[in-house]
């Protein structure tokens, strides 16, 4: 723990937590002056190969409104077999099973290295995982074929006992019955009619009149399971059947007249999917996987009409309040998302189309329920195929890297309150002593539901120091926060992961240097960016930029300002939604990449090295590799490109050139292998049309406006009106000086 750097790294590795400040100002006033709030990035399910779960249940504080879990920070009286809660100071006796406890014989949760510990809970029946495919059939033959193959392939990746279901839609919505033999049966819904959950369940024959309402439970799980088996079947049983069924899927047969879009009932299809799961497997981990090849064009949730002459809404339309369907559709999908979240089901959206598909309206489905969004040009691309495959990737234990139905609860010391969270979660509206009235992100609660989780899912949590200015440094000098995450593991076990961390309080006046040095620049940048994005989602664009400018944060902000997370220029509403979606759920490293892309340089002059994301880095004799998270660009400088064209790499004597060409490719592969979703992979060269991806990211230090760079060997000029970092910095400095105004 020599430096903060190491401390931060260690904490992150152990607990999956990074705080913006690692020393906390001891009073509200001081905290406010720091601009960047006390906040953290939490990765609840961070992979911990060295953390075997314990096979018992956590011991919790007996105070009704506390229920904090026993942790290493608690004071324990081994003689009296009593422990004191470090949050509410309640003294609790150990349960009988802890009778043998002693200083020498401590349970894991009391050991400091187990500040994060995972319990396996044996309560209740374990429910199988459920995967419900919702497939758009209004696709080009080629796309549909590719999609069908991907889906068929995915069946082999599912655990054999997982339940699968299939809903297809176009003009109509078809729920396929999987249990039958002989004739393939499906239930059909009209794509234009908004149906209530009850109606859907009735129409699917899921409700047994006598069962409901008897014991206050809508449907007895057993019966429901039996009834639902028509539509949701264990993979091992319907493998063949479903493969055939998928193979026979036809393009939506309804004719599409000239000048029209195909009628696509995405809204109803989702409604049926949600209704089906709601009726059959409430509060069970389930994943609705929606594959769409275009925007919803009819019925509830319609994003654009079927007239091709009416283009789908753009940011311009939205700003002019000219998007007729936007609000209605958004409201519709939000309602669906909330229902789905309430039942613990997450919704993935795989949208592959050249035009927009309505992600803007539908994003909430994934954002709220913790589902994935993947956007591509076609289902017949490796981007989609491999990304989809990666959804089913497994960890070192052979378990899926996914978890369901997570509930995150946060306990804080008295001096600290929770303002909110930003991430793929939804509020459970649990008020408590530690809930601040000041909301940041999704606030007003100390519990959030995170329906879909994976090891990289990261939430930003924001706190408020409530200690009064004149009050002394709180008791013990440390503040503590406990994160309790209950979830369904992909092997169907229920688990609880508990992370308890503590930080020292510091008096801002006397220990300002300490506080400054405890500042985690990266974490803070990401946390602030999340706040910005969250605001961008709910407020007008320029206002957000202004707010951000006011919050000024060093370098990152320059790129953030130019990033698609805040800038909608040159991005469609769908793209913005897509980028933002990923930004608010990725861990710190990935988030940083998103904000400030990484640029590596490969040349004969030395080993590969990171270079400034600046136009001056673009040189003829270099190969550049840029990783923006969403794109992976390999850029061959002018000279390199010429050499390559001349075929030197094929000559034995230029083996080194060949290696040089190969090096960025290998590195790119490495990134491609691990990244989810898979980035767009671009191999281009100087003057190539795709070079724009690079040019749009670099700092335009040389543009057509500053002549000095013209024609020199120092880089490539960028044709833009954006200000360069230099100008930005100058401006910032000016502002900083006159900040008092």
Partner 1 sequence: MNVNQHTPMASPYGQPQPGYGQPGYPPLDGGYPAPYAPYNGPASAYQPGVPPQGYSPFTSFPSKAVAANPVSDLSSPLDLGPARGPPTSAPPPVSAPQQYNQYSHSLGDVQNGPPPMTQAPPRPAGSQPYNQGAANLTGAHPSYPQHYGPPPTMEQVTNQMTRMQVTSGPPTPAGPGYAPPQSSQPPISTSYQAAPQPSYTQAPPPVSSTPTQPPSSGGPAAPQQYFAGPPPPSQQQFASSLPPTSQQQFTSSVPPPPSQQTFPPSSFSGPIPPPSRAPAPPASQSQQPFPTPQPPFSSAPPPVNQSGFAAGPPAQSSFPPQPPPPSSQPGSFPPPGPPPTSAPSGQYPTPMPHQQQPPTTQPSPYHPGPPPLRAQMPPTSNHLPPGPQGPSCPPGPLGPLQQPPSPQTGYPPQQNGAFGQVRSPQPGYAGPYPGQPNYGAPAPAPAPAQKRLDPDSIPSPQASDMPAVQKSRHRIDPDAIPSPIQVIEDDKVKTTEPFTTGVRGQAPPLVTTNFQVKDQGNASPRFIRCTAYNMPCTSDMAKQSQVPLAAVIKPLATLPPDETPPYLVDHGESGPIRCNRCKAYMCPYMQFIEGGRRFQCSFCNCVTEVPPHYFQHLDHTGKRVDCYERPELSLGTYEFLATVDYCKNNKPPQPPAFIFLIDVSYNAVKSGMVSIVCHELKSLLDHLPRENPEMDSVVRVGFVTYNKVLHFYNVKASLAQPQMLVVSDVSDMFVPLLDGFLVNVNESRQVIESLLDQIPEMFADTRETETVFGPVIQAGLEALKAADCAGKLFVFHTSLPIAEAPGKLKNREDKKLIGTDKEKSLFQPQGGFYNNLAKDCVAQGCCVDLFLFPNQYVDVATLGVVPVSTGGSIYKYTYFQAQTDQERFLNDLRRDVQKPVGFDAVMRVRTSTGIRATDFFGSFYMSNTTDVELAGLDCDKAVTVEFKHDDKLSEETGALMQCAVLYTSCSGQRRLRIHNMAVNCCSQLADLYRNCETDTIINYFAKYAFRGVLNSHTKAVRDTLVNQCAQILACYRKNCASPSSAGQLILPECMKLLPVYLNCVLKSDVLMPGADVSLDDRAYLRQLISCMDVAETHVFFYPRLLPLVKLDSSSLPMAVRDSEERLSKGGVYLMETGLHLFLWVGASVQQELLLNIFGTQSFSQIDSSMTSLPVLNNPFSQRLREIIDSFRAQRSRYMKLMVVKQEDRTELIFKHFLVEDKSASGGASYVDFLCHMHKEIRQLLS
Of the candidates 374, 380, 379, the residue with the CA atom closest to the CA atom of residue 350: 374
Helix (H, G, I), strand (E, B) or coil at 355: coil
Give backbone dihedrals phi and psi of 216, rounded to 5 degrees, phi first: 80, -15
Of the candidates 367, 735, 322, 293, the residue with the CA atom closest to the CA atom of residue 580: 367
Q: Count residues near partner 1 (CB under 8 A).
A: 24
Alpha-carbon gap, residue 688 to 34, rounded angstroms? 46
Alpha-carbon gap, residue 418 to 420, rounded angstroms? 6
Residues 26-65 touching partner 1, rule: CB under 8 A, are: none
Burial zone of 589 (CB within 10 Å; 0-12 exposed, 13-18 middle, 19+ buried): middle
Taking CB under 8 A as the binding criterion, the range among 252-260, 346-354, 513-521, 577-585 that sits at the site for partner 1 is 252-260
Taking CB under 8 A as the binding criterion, the range among 150-158, 196-204, 648-656, 732-740 that sits at the site for partner 1 is 196-204
Cis peptide before 677 (omega within 30 of 0): yes
Residue with smaller CB distance to partner 1, 185 or 704: 185
Q: Is 121 in the site for partner 1 (CB under 8 A)?
A: no
Of the candidates 2, 36, 31, the residue with the CA atom closest to the CA atom of residue 20: 36
H or E element in which residue 500 lies: strand 494-506
Residue with smaller CB distance to partner 1, 204 or 375: 204
Alpha-carbon gap, residue 390 to 655, rounded angstroms? 35
Taking CB under 8 A as the binding criterion, the range among 170-178, 302-310, 350-358, 665-673 that sits at the site for partner 1 is 170-178
Residues 571-610 touching partner 1, rule: CB under 8 A, are: none
Taking CB under 8 A as the binding criterion, the range among 126-134, 181-189, 221-229, 608-616 that sits at the site for partner 1 is 181-189
Taking CB under 8 A as the binding criterion, the range among 38-46, 111-119, 249-257, 350-358 that sits at the site for partner 1 is 249-257
Report the residue from 82, 93, 142, 193 that binds partner 1 according to the rule CB under 8 A: 193
Residue with smaller CB distance to partner 1, 204 or 450: 204
Alpha-carbon gap, residue 483 to 117, rounded angstroms? 11
Q: How far is the CB of 183 from partner 1 (least distance, A)?
A: 5
Of the candidates 116, 32, 17, the residue with the CA atom closest to the CA atom of residue 419: 32
- Are the beta carbons of 519 and 77 closer than 8 angstroms? no
Report the largest interatomic distance among the alpha carbons of the chain, rounded to a whole angstrom: 84
Q: Is 124 in the site for partner 1 (CB under 8 A)?
A: no
Burial zone of 50 (CB within 10 Å; 0-12 exposed, 13-18 middle, 19+ buried): exposed
Q: How far is the CB of 198 from partner 1 (least distance, A)?
A: 13
Q: How far is the CB of 236 from partner 1 (least distance, A)?
A: 22
- Are the beta carbons of 530 and 34 closer than 8 angstroms? no
Q: Is 248 in the site for partner 1 (CB under 8 A)?
A: yes
Q: Is 189 in the site for partner 1 (CB under 8 A)?
A: yes
Report the residue from 186, 212, 389, 690 that binds partner 1 according to the rule CB under 8 A: 186
Of the candidates 18, 276, 258, 254, the residue with the CA atom closest to the CA atom of residue 133: 276
Report the residue from 31, 110, 172, 440 that binds partner 1 according to the rule CB under 8 A: 172
Taking CB under 8 A as the binding criterion, the range among 192-200, 490-498, 553-561, 645-653 that sits at the site for partner 1 is 192-200
The helix-helix angle for 573-583 and 521-538 (nearest 10°) equals 140
Taking CB under 8 A as the binding criterion, the range among 158-166, 195-203, 501-509, 617-625 that sits at the site for partner 1 is 195-203
- Residue 361 contacts by C-beta under 8 Å, 6 or more apart in sequence? 296, 301, 303, 325, 326, 329, 330, 332, 333
Helix (H, G, I), strand (E, B) or coil at 358: coil
Report the residue from 96, 255, 257, 259 that binds partner 1 according to the rule CB under 8 A: 255
Q: Is 183 in the site for partner 1 (CB under 8 A)?
A: yes
Residue with smaller CB distance to partner 1, 256 or 729: 256
Three-class SS string for 626-659? EECCCEEEEEECHHHHHHHHHCHHHCHHHHHHHH
Residue with smaller CB distance to partner 1, 174 or 486: 174
Rg of the chain taking only CA atoms, in angstroms: 27
Taking CB under 8 A as the binding criterion, the range among 9-17, 190-198, 292-300, 462-470 that sits at the site for partner 1 is 190-198
Report the residue from 131, 187, 558, 728 that binds partner 1 according to the rule CB under 8 A: 187
Q: Is 140 in the site for partner 1 (CB under 8 A)?
A: no
Residues 675-704 touching partner 1, rule: CB under 8 A, are: none
Report the residue from 9, 10, 185, 673 that binds partner 1 according to the rule CB under 8 A: 185
Q: How far is the CB of 186 from partner 1 (least distance, A)?
A: 5
Residue with smaller CB distance to partner 1, 137 or 330: 137
Task: Spell out, one character per residue from 205 to 244, where the chain touches partner 1: x when CB under 8 A holds, - when not.
Answer: x---------------------------------------
- Are the beta carbons of 296 and 265 closer than 8 angstroms? yes
What does 276-306 look like in DSSP terms, one character per residue?
HHHHH-TTS-EEEEEEESS---SSTT--S-S
Cross-strand partners of 60: 69
Q: Is 174 in the site for partner 1 (CB under 8 A)?
A: yes
Report the residue from 49, 124, 253, 606 that binds partner 1 according to the rule CB under 8 A: 253
Q: Is 195 in the site for partner 1 (CB under 8 A)?
A: yes
Q: How far is the CB of 180 from partner 1 (least distance, A)?
A: 8
504, two tokens:
């020292």
Q: Is 190 in the site for partner 1 (CB under 8 A)?
A: yes
Taking CB under 8 A as the binding criterion, the range among 24-32, 245-253, 281-289, 653-661 that sits at the site for partner 1 is 245-253
Q: Is 188 in the site for partner 1 (CB under 8 A)?
A: yes
435, two tokens:
């809930």
Q: How far is the CB of 137 from partner 1 (least distance, A)?
A: 12
Of the candidates 161, 181, 201, 311, the residue with the CA atom closest to the CA atom of residue 244: 181
- The residues that touch partner 1, with contacts defined as CB under 8 A, are 172, 174, 177, 182-190, 193, 195, 199, 202-205, 248, 250, 253-255
């Amino acid at each position: 723990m020599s430096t903060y750097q190491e401390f931060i790294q260690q904490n992150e590795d152990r607990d999956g937590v990074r705080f913006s400040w690692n020393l906390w100002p001891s009073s509200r006033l001081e905290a406010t002056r720091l601009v960047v709030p006390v906040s953290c990035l939490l990765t609840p399910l961070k992979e911990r190969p060295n953390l075997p779960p314990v096979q018992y249940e956590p011991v919790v504080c007996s105070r009704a409104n506390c229920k904090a879990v026993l942790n290493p920070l608690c004071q324990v009286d081994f003689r009296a077999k009593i422990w004191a809660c470090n949050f509410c100071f309640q003294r609790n006796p150990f349960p009988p099973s802890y009778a043998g406890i002693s200083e020498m014989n401590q349970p894991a949760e009391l050991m400091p290295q187990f500040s994060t510990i995972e319990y396996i809970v044996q309560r209740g029946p374990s429910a199988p995982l459920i995967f419900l495919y919702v497939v758009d059939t209004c696709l080009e033959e080629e796309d549909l074929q590719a999609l069908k193959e991907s889906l068929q392939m995915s069946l082999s990746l599912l655990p054999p006992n997982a339940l699968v279901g299939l809903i297809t839609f176009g003009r109509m919505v078809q729920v396929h019955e999987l249990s039958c033999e002989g004739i393939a049966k499906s239930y059909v819904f009209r794509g234009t009619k908004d149906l209530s959950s009850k109606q859907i369940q009735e129409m699917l024959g899921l409700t047994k009149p006598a069962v409901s309402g008897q014991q206050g439970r809508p449907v007895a799980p057993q019966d429901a399971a039996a009834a639902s088996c028509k539509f949701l079947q264990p993979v091992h049983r319907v493998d063949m059947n479903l493969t055939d069924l998928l193979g026979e899927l036809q393009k939506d047969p309804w004719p599409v007249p000239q000048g029209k879009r195909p009628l696509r009932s995405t809204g109803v299809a989702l409604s049926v999917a949600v209704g089906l799961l709601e009726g059959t497997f409430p509060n069970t981990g389930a994943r609705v996987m929606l594959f769409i090849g275009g925007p919803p064009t009819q019925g509830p949730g319609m994003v654009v009409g079927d007239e091709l002459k009416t283009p789908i809404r753009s940011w311009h339309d939205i700003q002019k309040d000219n998007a007729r369907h936007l609000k209605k559709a958004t409201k519709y999908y939000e309602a669906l998302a909330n229902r789905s979240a309430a039942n613990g089901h997450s919704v993935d959206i795989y949208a592959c189309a050249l035009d927009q598909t309505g992600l803007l309206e539908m994003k909430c489905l994934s954002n709220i329920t913790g589902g994935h969004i993947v956007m591509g040009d076609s289902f017949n691309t490796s981007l989609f195929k491999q990304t989809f495959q990666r959804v089913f990737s497994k960890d070192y234990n052979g378990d899926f890297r996914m978890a369901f139905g997570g509930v995150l609860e946060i306990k804080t010391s008295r001096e600290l309150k929770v303002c909110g969270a930003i991430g793929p979660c939804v509020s459970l509206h649990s008020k408590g002593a530690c809930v601040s009235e000041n909301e940041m992100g999704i606030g007003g609660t100390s519990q959030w539901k995170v329906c879909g989780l994976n090891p990289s899912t990261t939430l930003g949590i924001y706190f408020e120091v409530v200690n009064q200015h004149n009050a002394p440094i709180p008791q013990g000098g440390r503040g503590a926060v406990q994160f309790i995450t209950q979830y369904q593991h992909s092997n169907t076990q229920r688990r609880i992961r508990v992370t308890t961390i503590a930080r020292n309080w510091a008096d801002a006046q006397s220990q300002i240097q300490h506080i400054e040095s405890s500042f985690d620049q990266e974490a803070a940048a990401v946390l602030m960016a999340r706040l910005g994005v969250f605001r961008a989602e709910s407020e007008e664009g320029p206002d957000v930029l202004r707010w951000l400018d006011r919050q000024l944060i060093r370098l990152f902000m320059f790129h953030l300002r130019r990033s698609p997370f805040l800038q909608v220029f040159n991005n469609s509403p769908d793209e913005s939604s897509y980028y933002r979606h990923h930004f608010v759920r990725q861990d710190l490293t990935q988030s940083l990449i998103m904000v400030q892309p990484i640029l590596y340089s490969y040349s004969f002059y030395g080993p590969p090295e990171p270079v400034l994301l600046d136009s001056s880095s673009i040189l003829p004799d270099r190969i550049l590799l840029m990783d923006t998270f969403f794109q992976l660009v390999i850029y061959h400088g002018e000279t390199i490109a010429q050499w390559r064209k001349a075929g030197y790499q094929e000559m034995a004597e230029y083996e080194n050139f060949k290696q040089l060409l190969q090096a960025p490719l290998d590195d790119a592969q490495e990134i491609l292998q691990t990244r989810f979703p898979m980035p767009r992979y671009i191999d281009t060269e100087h003057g190539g049309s795709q070079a724009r991806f690079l040019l749009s990211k670099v700092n335009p230090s040389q543009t057509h406006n500053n002549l000095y760079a013209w024609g020199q060997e120092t880089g490539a000029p960028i044709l833009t009106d954006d200000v360069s970092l230099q100008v930005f910095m100058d401006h910032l400095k000016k502002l900083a000086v006159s900040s008092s105004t």
